[in-house]
């Protein structure tokens, strides 16, 4: 299973074949081809693939939408596509060919740096979005999700919006004004994992994002994430990722063809 991570753009996955699970903070969500998976920016997730997966990925960054002169603002896309963190859109076999062509065109344009005329990009985006909206979404309504306690919901909210700079159970307990035992009890009961595990996932996701998308040094990242020294950050990263920060950066950038 891939380690938990997040992105600062919408991920749109066209699952042509295969099946598996997408793990979010509230638990695993099963998916099977053919379907479209849309993940909101900033949503920490990981993939657990049960079978061979054939998919196309469209990274819908804000500049993509701006360059296409799309009539919706970037922040309005979630409501337009009826997304709450993540949405699964099962696609019928009769719809598959059209969805596949739209993804092929848009992914090719993305790889080409969006050199294509903006009106063509805008038209293809509209076609894809309208096709997705016409498909009955498998919505993640609160009634279908595990019932979290109010304390766990507050913890998750702070984790998403304030971690970092809050990077320890002690800091979050003080921020919430509750006892450590109460937080541990609620979060572990509701999620199956303790608060420290969730905090570690969030810190690692932030660290990986900076290693991949900035030129910040290990020392700069360590300071920004609240570590007393770069050595402690390196030990933490190695323990949770299996690689040191610089080795992770080298391997990830090499795989992405950016070295």
If one compares 172 and 160, the residue with the highest pLDDT of the two is 172
If one compares 181 and 192, the residue with the highest pLDDT of the two is 181
Best-predicted range by mean pLDDT (22-26, 166-170, 187-191): 166-170
CA distance 122 to 158: 36
Q: Which long-range contacts (CB under 8 A, 24 or more apart) does 137-144 make?
A: 137/82, 137/87, 137/88, 137/89, 138/87, 138/88, 138/89, 138/90, 139/82, 139/84, 139/87, 140/29, 140/84, 140/85, 140/86, 140/87
pLDDT at 145: 47
pLDDT at 70: 73
pLDDT at 257: 65
pLDDT digits (tens, 9 = 90+) for 19-49: 888 887 656 788 888 889 888 887 888 888 7
- For residue 232, pLDDT beyond 80: yes
Q: What is the mean pLDDT of residues 229-253?
A: 90
- For residue 173, pLDDT beyond 60: yes
Question: What domains appear along the chain, each with residue ranges and CATH number?
Answer: 10-142 (2.60.120.280), 150-255 (1.10.10.60)
Q: Is 233 helix (H, G, I), strand (E, B) or coil?
A: helix
pLDDT digits (tens, 9 = 90+) for 105-159: 888 887 776 666 677 777 888 888 887 777 654 444 434 445 678 999 899 889 8
Q: What is the mean pLDDT of residues 74-100?
A: 78
Other CB atoms within 10 Å distance of the CB of residue 51: 11
Residue % of the chain over a pLDDT of 70: 87
């Amino acid at each position: 299973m891939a380690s938990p991570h997040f992105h600062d753009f919408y991920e749109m996955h066209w699952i042509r074949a295969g099946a598996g699970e997408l793990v979010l903070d509230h638990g695993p969500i099963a998916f099977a081809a053919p379907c479209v998976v849309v993940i909101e920016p900033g949503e920490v997730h990981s993939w657990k693939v049960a079978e061979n997966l054939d998919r196309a990925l469209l990274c819908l960054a804000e500049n993509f939408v701006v360059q296409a002169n799309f009539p919706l603002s970037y922040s309005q896309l979630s409501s337009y596509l009826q997304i709450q963190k993540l949405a699964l859109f099962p696609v019928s076999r009769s719809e598959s060919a059209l969805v596949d062509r739209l993804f092929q065109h848009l992914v090719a344009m993305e790889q080409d740096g969006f050199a294509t005329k903006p009106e063509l990009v805008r038209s293809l985006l509209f076609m894809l979005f309208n096709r997705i909206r016409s498909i009955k979404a498998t919505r993640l309504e609160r009634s279908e999700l595990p019932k979290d306690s109010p304390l766990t919901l507050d913890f998750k909210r702070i984790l998403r919006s304030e971690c970092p700079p809050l990077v320890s159970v002690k800091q979050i307990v003080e921020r919430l004004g509750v006892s450590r035992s109460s937080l541990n009890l609620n979060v572990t009961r509701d999620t199956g994992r303790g608060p420290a595990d969730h905090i570690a996932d969030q810190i690692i996701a932030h660290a990986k994002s900076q290693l991949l998308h900035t030129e910040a040094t290990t020392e700069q990242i360590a300071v920004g994430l609240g570590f007393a020294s770069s050595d402690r950050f390196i030990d933490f990263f190695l323990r949770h990722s299996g690689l040191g920060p610089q080795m992770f950066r080298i391997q990830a950038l090499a795989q992405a063809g950016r070295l």
